[in-house]
Amino acid sequence: MECVEGIWVDAGSEDPGTCLDCIGVCGFVVAAGCAGGPADNDACVTACMANQAGPCGLAYDQMLFCIGEAPTVTCDAATRPTVVGCEDRFDDLHMCLGG
């Protein structure tokens, strides 16, 4: 599965459903106000687009799949944004990103 412009793309699925695009996910992430998160919406969208296009794209899409369309974003012990129940996906993404 891959999130492309707000739609989950899967060669084997006729109805892949929707996913949060960078603007959508950033609304939830920035609202959480985590000290280890993005400073503002523009920084979040820029980082999101880079993450999806970079070598951690799969880890990013796995995180998006886990959080769904209306996540409740909180801050983890390292002050980074996370979603309850998806901590492993966020940890995988942070490890891939080198942090």
The percentage of the chain sitting over the pLDDT mark of 90, rounded to a whole number, equals: 61
Q: Which residues pair with 2 in a beta bridge?
A: 9
pTM over cut 0.85: no
For residue 21, the model assigns a pLDDT of 87
Mean pLDDT across 1-11: 71
Q: How far is CA 20 from CA 27, 60, 65, 67, 79, in A?
A: 10, 11, 9, 9, 22
Q: Which amino acid is at 15?
A: D
Beta strands in the chain (DSSP E): 2-4, 7-9, 73-75, 81-83
Q: pLDDT digits over 52-94, tens only?
A: 899 999 899 889 888 988 899 999 999 999 998 999 999 999 8
- Residue 60 CB: number of other CB atoms within 10 A? 25
d(CA 44, CA 41): 5
